[in-house]
Amino acid sequence: MTTLSVKPRRGRPPKIARENRDTRAELIRSGLEHLTEFGFSSSGIEPILKKVGVPKGSFYHYFASKEVFGETVLAHYDGYFAGKLDMHLLDTQFTPIQRLENFVDHAAQGMARHDFKRGCLVGNLSQEVDALPLGFRSQLSAIFAGWQHRLETCLQEAKNTGDIASTADCAQLAEFFWIGWEGAVSRAKLMQAPQPLTLFLHYFLQALPK
């Protein structure tokens, strides 16, 4: 048997190696930006591919379908947002209530930085859930449950320190916050202003049992 030896190529790495290393992540990042602004149902993959410079045929090398791509993007968004929540809600140099205020302030700054064109991907997809593949419903529900648990833990700390009443139902308060928060984000995007976020937080904090 004759063994063929392959001499190493000089210059740039082979195209396939570059794609395997970078392109999938770039597609997810591009998808996050696009879907956060435009939603899923009405979005084709062409603008996402164009931004990354990937031909349509190559897309299916990385994702079996648009549905799988959307689920992957949603999972990455959840990881990013959960990290943001943890950064604020677990920051023990502030009181639990101040941590929540810091999160809202940071979110408002983030929306302003993108000219209020991007909302919450999870909230956006929840509004079009009837038009989405069935798997999105359970994924979205699990994401909301994770966010609620994080806030519930923070409110429980406020309860333990006496900042809110010992009779407070932290689980229900956390669920109420996220129901109202998604509406506030949508209104802020519509108005292109942070006031709906700060107004919602103001009345949420006022409603906390003391």
Q: Kindly write down the DSSP assignment for every residue of 111-180, as one continuous string.
A: HHHTTT----HHHHHHHTGGGS-THHHHHHHHHHHHHHHHHHHHHHHHHHTTSS-TT--HHHHHHHHHHH
Q: Nearest Cα to 100, choosing from 20, 177, 183?
A: 177
Query: Is residue 13 over pLDDT 50?
Result: no
Assign domain 68-207 to its CATH superfamily.
Tetracycline Repressor, domain 2 (1.10.357.10)
CB atoms within 10 A of CB 133: 15
Q: What is the DSSP letter of 104?
A: H
Query: Is residue 16 over pLDDT 50?
Result: no
Residue 199 in contact with residue 134, Cβ under 8 Å? no
For the record, the structure tokens of 146 come out as 């994770």
Ordered by start, the domain boundaries in the chain are: 68-207
Query: pLDDT tens digits for 51-66?
Result: 888 888 888 889 999 8
Query: pLDDT tens digits for 183-209?
Result: 999 999 999 999 999 999 999 999 999
User: How high does pLDDT run on average in the chain?
Assistant: 88
Q: What percent of the chain has pLDDT over 70?
A: 90
Query: pLDDT tens digits for 85-121?
Result: 999 999 999 999 999 999 999 999 999 998 998 888 8
Cα radius of gyration (the chain): 21
Query: pLDDT tens digits for 123-135?
Result: 888 988 888 888 8
Within 13 Å and on the Cβ side, how many CA atoms surround 70? Answer: 26
pLDDT of residue 151: 98
Question: Tokens 């802020």 appear where?
Answer: 188
pLDDT of residue 140: 95
Distance CA 110, CA 116 (A): 8
Query: Is residue 5 over pLDDT 50?
Result: no
Global pTM reads 0.83
Q: What is the DSSP letter of 183?
A: H
Q: Nearest Cα to 125, choosing from 113, 109, 108, 142?
A: 142
